[in-house]
Amino acid sequence: MVPFGQNEKGYKKLLSHFYNQTSFLVERKIARNDSNFDLNPFSKNEDIIGLNNSFRNSLFYNRGKQKHSTTYTYLNNQTKTLLNVGSQENKIYSHQFQYLHLVAKSWLLQFNSNIGNTKSDSENYASRNFDINNYTLNPKLSYIFSKNASWDIFYEYKNQENSINLLESLKQNRMGSSFSINSEKGFSINGEYSFYNNEYIGNPLSPVAFQMLQGLQSGKNSVWRLLLQKNITKYLDININYQGRKSETSKAIHNGNVQLRAYF
């Protein structure tokens, strides 16, 4: 965090546009070994049976504004769990870049990119192991009707390659549109439609395929959702959530739920 206000002059004024935020979390489970009791959260103890290690740092330029607002985020996560089939370890790191700029008070331009790696290591099942390098490009254009309503169109290109075992790969093109409406009378609705074209090389039934495709199928897929929220009274509201998907090889799948919440 930079302790300068934007009323400063010179280099202090330049630094006032920047803001930095860092978070670090460590959770460990260690097998008790005789009288040895390790309290050091950074030690590489071989008796670790559970681990959740998360580091995140974000550097902002013009944070909270819509004028060339830029964010760079570095993320590094590591988890380890002990299952009845052996230990499972996962590692994820990524470099994320976000850019946002408002044009002519109505058009909001956004651009997101991501480059990183996802790795999984299973103690007893080699078929569950993967080491995936990936990068994503995601431009988005929004038209803002008012502070309560907007409409978006977007495109996303994703490339993923597994560097071990069968060397699976995915080239994914996604395009679609979404909208959001929020009423001052306690009513809101938002929805999204996405069309995916997946060029996947590898076994579509493997754990690697599930990780890459995120439950979708190779080829053309359509995914849509609709969420409706309404305040019925001061102490009662209702949420209606509907989701659907369809691929070239399967019929449309529809999911929905209704939630009624009361506040006491």
d(CA 161, CA 70): 28
Q: Give the residue, 34 or 96, on which the prediction is more confident.
A: 96
The answer to whether the CB of 117 falls within 8 A of the CB of 131 is: yes
d(CA 138, CA 158): 9
Amino acid identity of residue 253, one-letter, is: I
The model's pLDDT over 119-132, given as tens digits with 9 standing for 90+, comes to 999 888 888 899 99
Res 76: pLDDT: 97
d(CA 54, CA 170): 27
Percent of the chain with pLDDT strictly greater than 70: 91
d(CA 90, CA 130): 10
Q: Give the residue, 7 or 221, on which the prediction is more confident.
A: 221
d(CA 201, CA 188): 41
